[in-house]
Amino acid sequence: MSQPYDDQNVFAKILRGEMPCYKLYEDDETFAFMDIMPRADGHCLVIPKKPSRNILDVDPDSLAAVMRTVQKLSRAVVKAFSADGITVQQFNERAGGQVVFHLHVHVLPRHEGVSLRPHTGEMADKASLESNAEKIRAALA
């Protein structure tokens, strides 16, 4: 059974402007920004603006909006990083690997023969995050 939504999670705070992020894209229903612990250059996240813990409780229309934005960001990161492919990941509940309990979808540009970096919990440096964000924003334009 899914747990209740906690409006103090880090992504809810980002949506309210209480925490900073490297914003990439926003529309009426979704928000996209850089993952600050990237497993690949250009690793970004797409979240719904409506509160939802994960795929188990998200409104279907909100989920559809998230996936439209995932596709838009996927095309942008392929262009921005000359990627050979994309990995899209989405985790649900602690047992499923979810760490932040606001629905989010990972978009990771991939290159042939290059493994994902391990999830170390260490933040990337601000200069590389901003540089990668600029590349994605330019590809979205």
**Residue 25 tokens, joined:** 């894209």
The beta strands (E) that lie in the chain are given as: 23-26, 30-34, 44-48, 85-89, 105-110
Please, are residues 72 and 140 in contact by the beta-carbon 8 Å criterion? yes
- Catalytic, 43? Answer no
Alpha helices, H only, 39-125: 60-81
Q: Which of 104, 106, 111, 119 is catalytic?
A: 104
Q: What are the residue numbers of the active site? A: 104
